[in-house]
Structure 1
Amino acid sequence: MKKHLQVEAIQSGTVIDHISAGQGIKILKFFDLSSESQRITVGLNLPSHDGANKDLIKIEGLTFNKEQGNQLALFAPKATINVIENFEVVNKFKVELPQQIAGVFSCPNSNCISHNEPVDSRFNLTTRAHRTKLKCHYCEKAFDKGLFTELD
Structure 2
Amino acid sequence: MSDDTLRVSKIRNGTVIDHVPGGQALKVLAILGIDGSAGETVSVGMNVPSDKLGRKDIVKVEGRELSQAEVDVISLIAPAASINIVRDYEVIEKNRVVRPERVEGVLACPNPNCITTGDEPVASAFEVLDAGVRCAYCDTIIRRDIADHIG
> Do the two structures share a fold, i.e. TM-score over 0.5?
yes
Shift of 1:150: 2.9
CA-based RMSD of the aligned residues comes to 2.3
Distance 1:79 1:36, change over 3 A: farther
Shift of 1:66: 4.8
Distance 1:41 1:138 in 2: 38
Report if the CA contact (8 A) 1:38-1:62 is conserved.
Answer: no
Structure 1 residue aligned with 2:95: 93
Q: How does the TM-score come out when normalised to structure 2?
A: 0.84
| 1:6 counterpart SS class | coil
Shift of 1:57: 0.3
Instruction: Note the 1:22-61 alignment, pairs <5 A.
Output: 22-34=23-35, 35-50=37-52, 52-61=54-63
Distance 1:111 1:24 in 2: 31
Distance 1:144 1:123 in 2: 9
User: Unaligned stretches of 5+ in structure 1?
Assistant: none
Shift of 1:107: 0.9
| Runs of 4+ residues over 6 Å off in structure 1 | none
* 2:140 is aligned with 1:138: no
Q: How much identity, in percent, do the aligned residues show? A: 35
Structure 1 residue aligned with 2:128: 125
Shift of 1:83: 0.4
| 1:68 counterpart SS class | helix
Report if the CA contact (8 A) 1:16-1:56 is conserved.
Answer: yes
Deviates most, 92-101 or 31-40: 31-40
Structure 1 residue aligned with 2:70: 68
User: Unaligned stretches of 5+ in structure 2?
Assistant: none
Report if the CA contact (8 A) 1:19-1:54 is conserved.
Answer: yes
Report if the CA contact (8 A) 1:66-1:93 is conserved.
Answer: no
Distance 1:37 1:120 in 2: 30
- Give aligned pairs, total: 147
Shift of 1:122: 1.3
Distance 2:52 2:73 in 1: 25
